[in-house]
């Protein structure tokens, strides 16, 4: 392995015992290019060609107040596969906030757990006091990697092959872009939403594969809301209004306190992909919160959508958490908010909603073959997690047609990244490909990349590839075939 290190960044972070600044959450401040990566076990397949990119949160400077893991600056980690070989690189997402703090040599913004008055500068993006870290999500669209922040930031572009900084996406609106933009690889379109504290409170948009906004539509809600994800089918887009949002009385005093509003149902806004406000149809559903959806598709008069239903979206603080961190950790603990794989059916003829759990296990961060996005699909891949932490310790493959499932657990102390599906070159079926994931090994202090053959799921990784350093934990990731990067569109399968 040949490693080339980039110039170091300025950091003022002090040693800490904070649960989200140590262990798997220890920030990484090093940027490298690494070529011809070493194989620990197995062999790199020759039948995949593309890049896997993961976003992570890395605190650079000493926090001004209480630290939340989502406060850390975005860093993209990329591994490139071609001809049975793999290279790796990682780069900061050099947002305006990152650059301002590099110049100052210290933190300028408070974090998610801090009250008003902590920040010394106004934030960039839609939600005032927070810094847009671009650290939540990443997708590939129109030949660019787009890195986004879940509280509606500016949407930063990088080259998916080199991670060269390309600046703010020129199509991003003034109210920002939330994380969980969606890509329809069959059309090359990017679908997005944003939310704010001013009416109409939410918007939905479409960007074509050439970077032109072809739809930007108000999705009015009764007040400020906190949507986190959306879904789409071939014809429709689905937005949401959940009964978990800021307490309005406290919000008027500048306090961002989230609570469950008893007596309110969940509501889903269904509109044609290029529809307008007057085309929206609202469907009521059981009260809950959803961090992440899987897929949606049309079936006769019904629109079917799968995601992860939280049975307890505002959990009590964890009793055994370190002092002062119980509330924070319960909101990052799937075993506290009890997320279950769930299916909603919206009858477009009658306006009725039916729904049910598809699995009673605690699951989240699902992925599937993106060539079936918006279309009928059979296989989904969820992560399992360690109780008390936001750390993935295994995977479940679901056959949504038969109800069968297969589970793969990681050894103790090894934690996965969100793991997208990478189709084989010339794949012949929906599950003909690999799950790809970065693994953080707390036993050895190292990191690696693994590929799991989805046709032989329970057999474990077909290859383990050494990485040059251990990365910090994070949230979302993407796989992009090199053909899709080049052309901006690939035909659907099935």
Strand partners, 137: 148
Residue 145 located in a structural domain = yes
Q: Could you tell me if residue 154 is inside a domain?
A: yes
State in Å, rounded, how far the first CA of the chain is from the last one: 39
The edge-to-edge listing of strands for the beta sheet with 213-218 is 182-184, 189-195, 202-207, 213-218
The answer to whether position 322 is within a domain reads: yes
Instruction: Indicate whether 139 pLDDT > 80.
Output: yes
Tell me the percentage of the chain whose pLDDT exceeds 70.
98
How far apart (Å, rounded) are the C-alpha atoms in residues 420 and 366? Answer: 8
User: Number of folded domains in the chain?
Assistant: 1
pTM (whole model) above 0.75: yes
Is there a domain that residue 494 lies in?
A: no
Contact 102, 87 (CB under 8 A): no
Q: What is the pLDDT of residues 206-260, one digit of tens each?
A: 999 999 999 999 999 999 999 999 999 999 999 999 999 999 888 888 778 899 9
Rounded Cα–Cα distance for residues 372 and 297 (Å)? 9
pLDDT tens-digit readout, 252-266: 887 788 999 999 999
- Torsional sign, CA 316, 320, 326, 329: negative
- How many CB atoms lie under 10 A from the CB of residue 216? 16
Check which CATH number belongs to the domain holding 435 and give it. 2.120.10.30
Residue-range definition of the domain harbouring residue 241: 2-487
Span 77-89, pLDDT tens digits: 999 999 999 999 9
Would you say residue 422 lies in a domain? yes
Judge contact between 341 and 358, C-beta under 8 A. Answer: yes
Please name the residue ranges forming H helices in 185-315.
248-251
Kindly give the residue spans of alpha helices, DSSP state H, lying in 230-343.
248-251, 326-331, 334-337
Residue 492 included in any domain? no
**pLDDT tens digits along 88-104:** 999 999 999 999 999 99
């Amino acid at each position: 392995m040949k490693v080339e290190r980039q110039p170091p960044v300025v950091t003022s972070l002090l040693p800490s015992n904070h649960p989200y600044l140590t262990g798997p959450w220890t920030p990484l401040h090093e940027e490298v290019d690494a070529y011809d990566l070493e194989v620990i076990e197995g062999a790199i397949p020759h039948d995949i060609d593309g890049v896997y990119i993961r976003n992570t949160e890395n605190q650079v400077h000493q926090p001004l107040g209480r630290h939340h893991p989502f406060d850390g600056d975005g860093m993209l980690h990329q591994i490139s596969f071609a001809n049975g070989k793999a290279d790796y690189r990682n780069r900061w997402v050099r947002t305006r906030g990152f650059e301002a703090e590099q110049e100052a040599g210290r933190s300028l913004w408070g974090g998610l757990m801090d009250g008003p008055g902590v920040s010394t500068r106004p934030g960039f993006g839609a939600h005032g006091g927070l810094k847009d870290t671009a650290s939540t999500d990443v997708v590939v669209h129109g030949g660019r990697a787009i890195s986004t922040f879940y509280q509606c930031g500016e949407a930063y572009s990088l080259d998916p092959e080199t991670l060269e900084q390309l600046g703010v996406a020129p199509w991003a609106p003034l109210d920002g872009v939330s994380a969980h933009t969606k890509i329809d690889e069959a059309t090359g379109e990017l679908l997005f939403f944003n939310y704010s504290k001013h009416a109409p409170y939410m918007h939905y948009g479409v960007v074509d594969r050439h970077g032109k906004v072809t739809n930007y539509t108000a999705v009015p809600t009764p007040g400020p809301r906190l949507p986190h994800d959306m879904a789409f089918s071939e014809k429709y887009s689905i937005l949401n209004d959940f009964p978990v949002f800021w307490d309005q009385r406290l919000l008027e005093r500048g306090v961002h306190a989230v609570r469950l509003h008893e007596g309110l149902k969940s509501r889903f806004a269904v509109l044609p992909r290029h529809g307008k406000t007057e085309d929206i149809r609202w469907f009521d559903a059981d009260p809950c919160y959803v961090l992440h959806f899987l897929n949606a598709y049309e079936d006769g008069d019904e629109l079917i959508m799968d995601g992860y239903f939280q049975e307890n979206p505002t959990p009590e603080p964890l009793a055994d958490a370190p002092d002062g961190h119980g509330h924070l950790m319960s909101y990052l603990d799937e075993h506290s908010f009890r997320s279950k794989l769930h299916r909603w059916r919206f009858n477009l003829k009658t306006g009725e909603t039916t729904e049910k759990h598809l699995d009673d296990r605690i699951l989240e961060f699902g992925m599937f073959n993106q060539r079936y996005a918006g279309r009928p699909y059979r296989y989904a891949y969820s992560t399992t997690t360690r109780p008390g932490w936001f750390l993935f310790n295994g995977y479940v493959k679901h056959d949504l047609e038969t109800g069968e499932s297969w589970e793969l657990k990681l050894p103790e102390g090894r934690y996965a990244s969100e793991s997208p599906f990478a189709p084989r070159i010339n794949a012949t079926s929906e599950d003909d490909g690999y799950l790809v994931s970065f693994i953080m090994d707390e036993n050895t202090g190292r990191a690696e990349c693994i590929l799991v053959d989805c046709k032989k799921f329970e057999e474990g990784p077909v290859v383990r590839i050494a990485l040059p350093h251990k990365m910090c934990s994070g949230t979302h990731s993407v796989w992009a075939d090199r053909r899709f990067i080049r052309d901006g569109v690939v035909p659907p399968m099935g």
